[in-house]
Amino acid sequence: MTGGAGFIGSNFVHHLVAHTDYVVTVLDKLTYAASREALDGLPENRVQLVVGDIAEADVVDPLVASHDAVVHYAAESHNDNSLDDPSPFIRTNLVGTFTILEAVRKHDKRLHHVSTDEVYGDLELDDPKRFTEDTPYNPSSPYSASKAGSDHLVRAWVRSFGVRATVSNCSNNYGPWQHIEKFIPRQITNVIDGVRPKLYGSGENVRDWIHAEDHSSAVLTILEKGRIGETYLIGADGEKNNLEVVRLILKLMGQPEDAFDHVTDRAGHDLRYAIESGKLRSELGWRPRFQDFEAGLADTIAWYQQHEDWWRPHKDAVEAAYAQKGQ
């Protein structure tokens, strides 16, 4: 699998080790958002880490040739970073996906491509609709545009070359091993440090949250049961606006729910994401474990409290970068 030392990918590796007998090779470039520590403690006879770039065919090809299936998690994924410099997003998300597609085509291997709901753009705050597999693509940032392009490449290779692939688009993940530049772990680690959380704008923007463990179980279900050429949306009915999330973090950590500061909103900040995951549930029988967002968030807070040694070395640099932007 690709990107298995990153946040969502490493959670999937842990899920595979716990719930299957698969042997996993992780190909990861080990960029700033990945860490070897995310794979610590996993059995060496089940998990191997190969450090390399998915955009380099001479790295990808022999690995694909020697495995039964590829699960493609690797991506540049931070919206703000894509606004500062889009080039890594084009290389990893587009050229990297193309390289993987050519390898699975050559060796006739099964592929599952992991994507995001951000390819659909956003919904109005008062719109009752949710994204479905038939929602038109309308990406609004270099990140989401590059992921939309990678999805289209996968579907084209299925149709043009008969590649055995499926696609999933998932809502916002939270849980263990998420880099502290991201919204939920940044707020949690701020509270741990006695720093007031930062809320973009009015906090009305809505995200559909899913615990990384539930994303993992959904991807495994699609890999094993999904119909070739199909797309499945993954969501856990976790719609919350950012204000609600910050208040809940403060409440769960024993702080006043108004102990946060407003900062300037992000450029191009999408209003609302919401996933309709009925196809995945009805066709493949998947159900999320963390259907209660508060319980999943409490689990996540406990993880960051217990793993300060993992995130602490990065905290000062992350906050310095945000301070430069006034955030």
Distance CA 223, CA 26 (A): 16
**Catalytic-residue membership of 137:** no
> CA distances (Å), 207 to each of 81, 183, 259, 272, in order?
19, 11, 21, 6
Q: 220: closest CA among 234, 209, 201, 210?
A: 234
| Identified catalytic residue from 28, 53, 76, 117 | 117
Angle 318-319-323 from CA coordinates, rounded to 5°: 125
**Catalytic-residue membership of 143:** yes
> CA distances (Å), 130 to each of 33, 86, 212, 264, in order?
29, 28, 20, 27
Written in H, E and C, the secondary structure of 277-309 is CHHHHHHHCCCCCCCCHHHHHHHHHHHHHHCHH
**Catalytic-residue membership of 118:** yes
Backbone dihedral region for residue 14 (phi beyond 0: left; psi -120 to 50: alpha; all else: beta): alpha
| Identified catalytic residue from 73, 120, 143, 304 | 143
| Identified catalytic residue from 28, 53, 76, 118 | 118
- Find tokens 């539930």 and name the residue: 214
- Active-site positions read 117-118, 143
